[in-house]
Amino acid sequence: MLKGIPKILSPELLKVLCEMGHSDRLVIADGNFPAESVGKDAIVIRMDGHGACELLDAILQVFPLDSYVEHPVNLMEVMPGDPVETPIWAEYEKIVTERTERDASAIGQIERFRFYEEARKAYAIIATGEGALYANIMLQKGVVV
C-alpha cells in the first residue's frame, strides 16, 4: 500500500498510468463499450465492479491532462435522434474542474463511430461496470511539471 494514492487505483492500473507518456490516451469505458474488441492493440484493464466517476476522480489525482490540446478530455457524442439523457457528463465536468487546472472547455465530444476509431489507438482501456449510457470518456495525458 502507498500513502496518498486512491485505493481504487490497483497496482496494474498504476503501472499502466506510469508507463503512459505525453499524448497517450486512456479510455474509461462504460459497461456497454466493446472494450475487448476495440482494445485489441491496447492494454485492457477490467474494473467491472466500479463506476466511471469514481475512477475518473481517482485517476485525475495522479494523471496530468495534456495542456497543449484544446480538448484533453473527450466524451462519446450522443447519436442524433437518440433520446438519451447524459447526466453523468455534469459529474465528469465537476470532477475535471475540481481535480485539474482546466475548466469545462477542456471537455470535447467525438462522434460515436469516430470515438471507437480513436479508442482503437488508445494506450489503455479501463472496462468499468458503469451503467450510464454514453458514459465513455477519453483522457489525453500531459506532462508532470
| Paired residues of 75 in beta bridges | 109, 137
Instruction: Tabulate helix, strand, coil % of the chain (nearest 5).
Output: 30, 20, 50
Catalytic residue among 66, 92, 123, 134: 66
Whether 50 is catalytic: no
Whether 66 is catalytic: yes
CA dist., res. 24 & res. 21, Å (int)? 6
**What are the Cα distances from residue 16, in Å, to 63, 120, 124, 126, 145?**
11, 17, 8, 11, 19
- DSSP for 49-99 reads TS-HHHHHHHHTTT-PBPSSSS-SEEEEPPPTT-----THHHHHHHHHHHH
Whether 22 is catalytic: yes
Catalytic residue ranges: 22, 66, 116
